[in-house]
A and B are shown apart, each in its own frame.
Chain A
Amino acid sequence: MASENPDRAHAVAFTLNGEAVRAHVPARMHLGDLLRQSFGLTGVHLGCEHGVCGACTILVDGRAVRSCLMLGVQADGATVETVEGLTESGRIRDLQDAFHARNALQCGYCTPGMLVTAAELLDDADAATSREAIRAAIAGNYCRCTGYHAIVDAIASTAEARGQGRRDAGRDAGLEAAE
């Protein structure tokens, strides 16, 4: 028997989907379990709990992170966003629409992690958006249902639309400056 109670809780405070939250976390509890069990964020899906499948991917301080590979106590002071937060903020609405239109999901279990990974890729305006680049970017997220083709299509069409939007915005800004 270990001398220390493994369930002894530690106080943490962090920003979760835009709200300031506090929790008491057992030292051994990973962030994925904390988000699911203490905050009811069941969009965080646990597929393997050893960092391989990508289903539990969330954003921590803006970067995609495997929530099963990070302890809950490590979230102290961080900014954490899950698929629920990304949905409510509308930040990935176009991406979700593209997934829906293209049927880029079947069982939906990998989908939150896949969306978060794609969101990070698409946030980088300079990111290459070839099919190969998209395939490489999502190569850490298992999808057992779709065969990936539709997912690549959906991310590519979102990247194309956002790129067009940025070009339009740049052109409009240029016109205004000229006037």
Chain B
Amino acid sequence: MSADPGGLTFLDRPNSYIGRSVPRPNARRLLEGRGVYVDDVAVARLGHVAFLRSPHAHARIVALDTADAKAMPGVIAVVTGPELAAVCTPWVGVLGHFKGLRSAPQHALALDRVTWVGEPFCAVVAHGRAEAEDALAAITVEFDPLPAVVDMETALDPATPAIHAELGDNLAFERVLNVGDVDAAFRDAALVVEETFQFGRHTGVCLEPRAILADWAAADGMLTVHHSFQAPHMMQDILCKHLALPEGAVRVICKDVGGSFGIKVHIYPDEMATCALALMLKRPVKFVADRLESFQSDIHARDHRVTARMAFSAEGDILALDMDDLTGIGPYSVYPRTSAVEANQVVNLTGGPYRHQHYRARARVVLQNKAPTCQYRAVGHPIATMVAEGLVDLGAARLGLDPLAVRERNVIPDDAYPCAGVSGIKLEKLSHQAALAKLKAMMDYDGLRAEQADLRRRGIHRGIGLAAFIEITNPSAAFYGVGGARISSQDGCTIRLDPQGGVVASVSVTEQGQGTEGIIAQIVATATGVPMDKVRVISGDTQATPYGGGTWASRGAGIGGEAAWQAGKALRGNVLVVAGAILQADPESLDVRDGAVVDAGTGTERMPLAELGRIVYFRPDTLPPGVQPEFVATRHYVPKDYPFAFTNGVQASYVEVDTETGFVRLLKHWCVEDCGTVLNPLLVDEQIRGGIVQGIGGALFEHCLYDGEGQLLNGSMADYLVPMAGEMPDIAVAHVVSATASSEIGAKGAGEAGTAGAPAAVVNAINDALAPLNARVARQPVTPEVVLEALGLI
């Protein structure tokens, strides 16, 4: 379904592309196998690096003998941690506004101690990857295994050793929030429900593995880095800092990126090591993670245990929420975003759709000897949504109320904005009531309940699950900048009019497949009046684009898009001033439409842009005196009036549970969400659908399994399940449009709403199906084993 075009009237220029389902201009290249991902970049004298990674969760490196490896055919260099440390300085992943957050210095290659299975501590560079791996096998290492901190539940016990002795214990961060009078609200409640929710670790599984190619050209002092990454300017800044290079000496290029989802926005030791090796060896060096390395070293996410209570009145009003979140983040807080953000978001977001005023939350972030966790798509949102929505369903069931009706009763009303959420977050404009109403009609809620009841009588156990949620998008500098992280929250766009009348737009937001280049082309075409097929968009190159944050936290359209809109308007204004001078007309009386300067009132063509381009660039001598054409315009944008543009939505899942095998069959999924102005329904709907399926992955399949010694048990795609086409349902998507007034285009983010709400909708549906059998699940992923345990069958 497409957006309501009524919300776009202020943008409804004669040749507006905004709000239309225009196919992405850059997709044709990808469809023909002509994408350029990092591993496709051809460079002469290339060295391939492979890393020796720890087989232990925690161990001291007693001896490391690389002599045999150095003598192997094809080997260019073998480099240890201390050797690399002479080139690349260590980092510490903390933020100033997360008071008390602690971590330890982390090196590109571990020096004398390894802290998780997969941590790199030695590198081989060879003429081919296979030769590098051959040489890895010739390195001998003597380890002294150390006690591993594996279980986050016991990580804080006094008997558990501290991973980093200098920190004293394994508590990296703690936050406590106490709003209203929670104890009184629980004391006076008609009903209190409680549940402990467990969330398994999972990871991004980008189909293109992490990849980086660093090329140091000593002659001109330039490090060119091709990187499968989301934030090129951030990487440039960090390389400069840790390799002691001036800003102008580093160019980061992120061309095609084969999936990212937040996985490719962090600083990874092996990628920093690759760049340092290029400097050391004065030649290009490439690292492409193989799939085992991806599972061992890509950031993981979601390792949480949350115990929470919700208080209700007899009528179904939510009175209070009290929760305790414990999360394990691996041995280091990941640089530079930190691994405390997910728990912090859980505190900020849990129960966010609802108008209750009593809320207590504690989050503790603990270190452990497993792969580091950090921001992955919809950071904290699936946890926050599951906790609140699971408790809402429990409360509704105990009170004998319809779960949809309880949500309708408790959401913040659509006419209450602007207001603050219970955790203190500022909410500009949300649409829970409208979204619930739309969902109810779209899924034929009452009809579905009747079908469910009918099938139940025949022994078929189907369930309907609902999940209302809010999503953080368009983050301002309040997210990272205030904490001292050099992560840009502003983005920019530069647009140039060329002699033929086409434009080139370069943007600092980046493309990983979500359609950034497509929506920028739509916005630029609309703003400048140039046909979309004459707009070329450049992204992902620190040397060719304005400075900016890149793509993360659902900010590409809302922040990068507004910068493009403003730049496009500025360029059109410049064009009209010059055209007015040539045509002896008031610029106010002119417009640019479909590639020509026209009379604004009648639409009559006065001059094609190609003619204007010819005069300005090749015959400036014919211009009237005093006219200085500036056919390049740059604008930057960052939200200032609200720290974030919150969005909202509601999802529903319809599932069937086989009570003999424990298998869950997904029958249908619905999502209504409000991301403000919908720039391109085709792209937004597929973002939502893709996000939902990633959320379903976490709910039902995906789990990074470790044993008691901290060994990763499922480091291959054959062992780690992700959703496949055969198991996924069709997904219906609809929108409510509450444009943000913070920007002219009014777009909020849409990239994470699907992932935020899907797990809760699916798990609630499973529990709805199991309700007649007095069984419940609260541990994700909900594997058949978990269902059968809940049913008491195993």
Contact = CB atoms under 8 A, between A and B. Distances in A.
A50 B717 contact: yes
Q: Is the interface of B mostly helix, strand, loop or mixed?
A: loop
Interface in B227-281: 256-261
A102 B513 CA distance: 14
B513 A83 contact: no
Given A53-B207, A152-B725, A142 B689 contact: no
A87 B33 contact: yes
Contacts of A148: 693, 723-725, 728
A149 B686 CA distance: 8
Interface stretch (B21-29, B402-410, B772-780): B21-29
A100 B423 CA distance: 43
Given A109-B37, A109-B258, A139 B716 contact: no
B512 interface: yes
B27 A105 contact: yes
Interface string A140-154: 111111111111100
Contacts of B134: 6
A120 interface: no
A101 interface: yes
Q: Report which residue of A107, A138, A141 has the largest number of chain B beta carbons within 10 angstroms of its beta carbon.
A: A107
Given A84-B33, A145-B690, A105 B131 contact: no
Given A53-B207, A148-B693, A103 B23 contact: yes
A66 interface: no
Contacts of B130: 6-7, 26, 28-29
A129 interface: no
B492 interface: no
Contacts of A50: 291, 716-718
Given A103-B23, A135-B726, A141-B725, A82 B689 contact: no
Interface string B666-703: 00000000000000001100110111111000000000
B752 to A, nearest CB: 13
Interface range on chain A (Cβ under 8 Å from partner): 35 or more
Contact of B258 (A101, A107, A141, A151): A107
B27 A107 contact: no
Contacts, number: 183
Interface string B722-757: 111111101100000000000000000000001000
A107 B693 contact: no
A134 B208 CA distance: 24
B515 A103 contact: yes
Contact of B32 (A96, A103, A147, A152): A96
A111 interface: yes
A110 interface: yes
A84 B42 CA distance: 18
Interface of A: 6-7, 26, 28-29, 36, 40-50, 52-53, 55, 82-84, 87, 96, 99-103, 105-112, 115, 131, 134-136, 138-152
24 contacts: A6-B134, A42-B40, A45-B207, A46-B39, A49-B291, A96-B32, A100-B27, A101-B23, A103-B27, A106-B259, A107-B206, A107-B207, A107-B257, A108-B27, A108-B513, A111-B33, A139-B724, A142-B722, A144-B204, A144-B207, A144-B259, A145-B686, A146-B686, A149-B728
